[in-house]
Every structure is written in C-alpha cells, then in structure tokens.
Amino acid sequence: MPVENPTISFEFFPPKDELGEMQLWQAIDALHSINPDFVSVTYGAGGSTRDRTVRIACEIYERAGFRTIAHLTCVGSTREELKEILLHYKESGISDVLALRGDPVDGPTAPWTATVGGLDHAEQLVELASEVGDFTIGVAAFPDIHPASNGNFEQDIEVLLRKERAGATFAITQFVFDSQSYARLVETLKERGSALTIYPGIMPVTNHRQIKRMIELSGGHMPAKILEKFDRFQDDPESVKSLGIEVATQICEEVYLTGAEGFHFYTLNSATATAQVIGNLSMYAR
C-alpha cells in the first residue's frame, strides 16, 4: 500500500580533486530546494576514499544542514581505526552510518580478504557502531542478489536478517531496474518478520556506457525490454538521457505502489537527471 509523503534522499561520492569538489557543491546547491530527508556519502573500493569520505560527510552536514549518512566499510581499516572514525562522526554531530563490508579493490566479485586486525562481515561493523554510539544504522540490500551469493537469494535474506539483529534499522538497495525484484525482496523480509525499511536505489542512466558497469557492480538485472531500448539509442546521447529519466521515473512510480517508503537517488554528483525524475513523479505533484 502506498505511503504518504515518501522520503527523498541522495547519494554523493567524495571528489578526487578541486574541480570535482566544485561540481559536488554545485549539485548540492541545485538539489537543496528539494529539501532531501537525508544524503549519503560513499566509501571507495578498497577503502580508497576513507579520509575524503569522513571530511566530505562532515562538511555536508555542517554547511548544507542535511541529515548525512556516512558510509563505512570493513575494507582497509582495523577495528580500532573503524572505532576512531565512528567516534569522529559522533563528535561531528553525524548520527547515521551505512555499515558495509565493502568491495575489494578489484571489484565486488574479487576474493575477499579481511584486513589484519579488522572485521570480516558487515554485521560486525553494525555491532561496532551500536557499541560506539547512538547511531541509526543502515546496510546494503540487493534486490537482484549479491554478486558473490552465486544466485542464492535465501542467503541474501539471511544476511540481511543477521544485520538487522545486530542493530540495523534500514537498508538501501543497489540500483533497481525491475520493480518486481524489489517487491520480492521486501515481501520476503516481511514474511520472515523483518521490520527493516528498504529504500530502493534509483539510478537515472545518463549514458550508454554506464549500463554494463552498473549491472556488474550491483549484481543487478535490467529487463531485456528496457536494455533493448537503451541499445537502440546507444549512438544518440540525448535520447539515452531522456530514456534514462523516463525509466527511472517509471521505476519510482512502480515501487511506490508496492509500498516503498522513499527513493534513494544515485546522483553521481550531478543534479540534473535526479531533479527531472523527482519533478516527474505524481506523488509529489502540487
């Protein structure tokens, strides 16, 4: 059943240089009027952006005033280092974290090796965040099965339930391109007694090259009829952008009807496509 006033949230990533930082703040300024319920700041593969993630998350909270969810992963940090980061967030006023195992440097399907003195699973990071402070803790969810799960949907459900038992209260999914996959995930969790809020991840495709990479990274599935449409326009960038906005709008409308409590937009530090999708949505029509 549709909820009233579904939330809107945005994901940003830490820029690599001054130009990227300028583009990030331009996107934040452009999206400010939408008044998001929260924003999140990612953590690079292999823990590669740890310091930048901490700095940018704190700056967004201080300068923009948004509720900011800082991503934190098990990769590349010892337990004590993770504890120090959590304490820094707490002291900076950030009370929300997204606890992730994280991807190895070579990608989500590469062999996993825990950092010496570190943590091995996201649920351990959830437990640590619960111990360190009064954090609201989120985790990742995979509507189309985690890339390392070898097609085992039940295994993914059990992992989510363990994270919830450890202290997580919400999850953000990887890119949703099939609303039925999202609905299956939510319904299965409810049947198992879960109270997790599951926010669907929405990614407006803006160029054809993104598609294969997005599917590989997320373990996601794009229905053949949608993929065929994008392939038809692969040499027409403007048509790809228009179709990406149309598809993202349709996915939002569909998951909303299944009871999604909000939409989490993967912005890639750009405001244009996300703002257009939100402007199209019937539930926000004035």
- For 212-251, the DSSP string reads HHHHHHHT----HHHHHHHHHTTT-HHHHHHHHHHHHHHH
pLDDT at 212: 78
What pLDDT is recorded for position 124? 97
Residues 11-22 as b or e (16 or more Cβ within 10 Å = b)? bbbbbeeeeebe
Q: Does 107 score more than 80 pLDDT?
A: no
| Catalytic residue, candidates 4, 11, 123, 253 | 11
Q: Residue 1 burial by CB count (10 A; 0-12/13-18/19+): exposed, middle or buried?
A: exposed
The predicted model scores a pTM of: 0.93
Averaged pLDDT of the chain: 90
Question: Does 74 score more than 60 pLDDT?
Answer: yes
pLDDT at res. 286? 40
Pairwise pLDDT comparison (116 vs 148), residue with the higher score: 116
What is d(CA 151, CA 141) in angstroms, rounded to the nearest whole number?
14
Give the up-direction half-sphere exposure of residue 93: CA atoms within 13 A in the CB hemisphere.
Answer: 11
The residue among 45 and 52 whose pLDDT is bigger is 52
Map tokens 């300028």 to a residue: 22
| The pLDDT of residue 44 | 61
User: What confidence category does residue 152 fall into, taking pLDDT thresholds of 50, 70 and 90?
Assistant: confident
Q: In this predicted structure, what is the pLDDT of residue 145?
A: 63
**Weakest-pLDDT range from 122-126, 213-217, 270-274:** 213-217
Lowest mean pLDDT among 40-49, 86-95, 114-123, 132-141: 40-49
pLDDT tens-digit readout, 200-221: 999 999 999 888 777 776 667 7
Lowest mean pLDDT among 31-45, 108-122, 143-157: 143-157
Q: Coil, helix or strand for 210?
A: helix
Q: How confident is the model at residue 104, as a pLDDT?
A: 74
Average pLDDT value for residue range 88-115: 84
Question: Cα-atom radius of gyration of the chain, to the nearest Å?
Answer: 18
Task: Give me the domains of the chain, ranges plus CATH numbers.
Answer: 7-284 (3.20.20.220)
Q: Measure the CA–CA gap between 182 and 254, rounded to whole angstroms.
A: 10
Average of per-residue pLDDT across 266-272: 96
- Per the CB < 8 A criterion, the answer to whether 243 and 205 are in contact is yes
- Whether 42 contacts 12, CB under 8 Å: yes
Residue with tokens 């599917």: 215
Confidence of residue 148 (pLDDT cuts 50, 70, 90): low
Tell me the pLDDT band of 240, cut-offs 50, 70 and 90.
very high
Residue 125 pLDDT > 90: yes
Predicted pLDDT at 49? 57
Q: Is 4 a catalytic residue?
A: no
Q: Phi and psi (nearest 5°) for 141?
A: -135, 155
Q: Which of 239, 285, 252, 244 is nearest to 268 (CA)?
A: 244
pLDDT above 60 for 131: yes
- Residue ranges of the alpha helices (H) in 92-236? 122-132, 153-166, 179-191, 208-218, 224-232
The yes-or-no verdict on residue 46 having pLDDT over 70 is no
Report how far residue 264's alpha carbon sits from residue 11's, in angstroms, rounded to the nearest whole number.
7
Per-residue pLDDT of 7-38, as tens digits, reads 999 999 999 899 999 999 999 999 999 999 99
